[in-house]
Each structure stands twice: as C-alpha cells, then as structure tokens.
Amino acid sequence: MNNAATDPANEIMIVRKTADGASVEFWTDGAVGVGSRSHSKIFARAVPRQLAWLIAEEVPMFNEYELRALFKAARRAWDKHTREPHRVRLSDVRRIMLAYAPVGESW
C-alpha cells in the first residue's frame, strides 16, 4: 500500500484533532495518519469506513499517545461484533471500544 499522503487516488475523508491538538486524518483507502497531509505518519491501515467514523467521533477525547490503545480497542470490538456482519450494532462496537480504551491523565 502506498503512503496515503502521497497516493493521488486517496482522499482525506475525515480530519479530527486529539485533546492535545494532533491532527488525525482518515483516508478513503482505510489508512489513518497522524500529522498534516504532507507529513502524515501512517498510524493504522485497512480501517473499515463504519469503524473509522466511530473512532473519529472519539478522537477528541484522547491524547495522541493514547491513540494506539483506542485503535486497538476499536479493532477488538469490531472483530468481536463483525463475525456476523448482518448483526453488527454500532452502538455495541462503540461501547466495547470505549470500555477497552484507556483514558489517560487528560481526564
């Protein structure tokens, strides 16, 4: 996979700021970058769009150093609830994601 910031076929779908001001970019190919468009560091790959929107809603509650735990918790919740895709309830994924994601000293 190409770097999302340099692949012209990709576009930024969502941009959110963390509690400490870091920019998080969600790309159309499922990549997630932290930083600016020209200097984005790829943080995660192949994030499903529904999950990207769920994570994006929660990004402002976390600091940059907490993002890895947030993504890990989100992926864990997503994998648990998408074994039967027709039965996925996003509210369940969100609840489990937030239960596993640690909230640090910013709170």
Measured on CA atoms in the order 76, 80, 82, 86, is the torsion positive or negative? negative
Q: Round to whole Å and give the CA distance between 78 and 107.
A: 25
pLDDT tens, position by position, 8-57: 678 889 999 999 999 999 988 888 888 765 556 666 777 888 888 888 98
* Res. 4 pLDDT band, cuts 50 70 90: very low
pLDDT tens, position by position, 53-71: 888 988 998 888 888 888 8
The helix/strand/coil state of 27 is strand
Token couple for 29? 């190919």
* Planar angle of CA 84, 90, 34, nearest 5 degrees: 110
The pLDDT of residue 2 is 42
Q: Round to whole Å and give the CA distance between 98 and 104.
A: 13
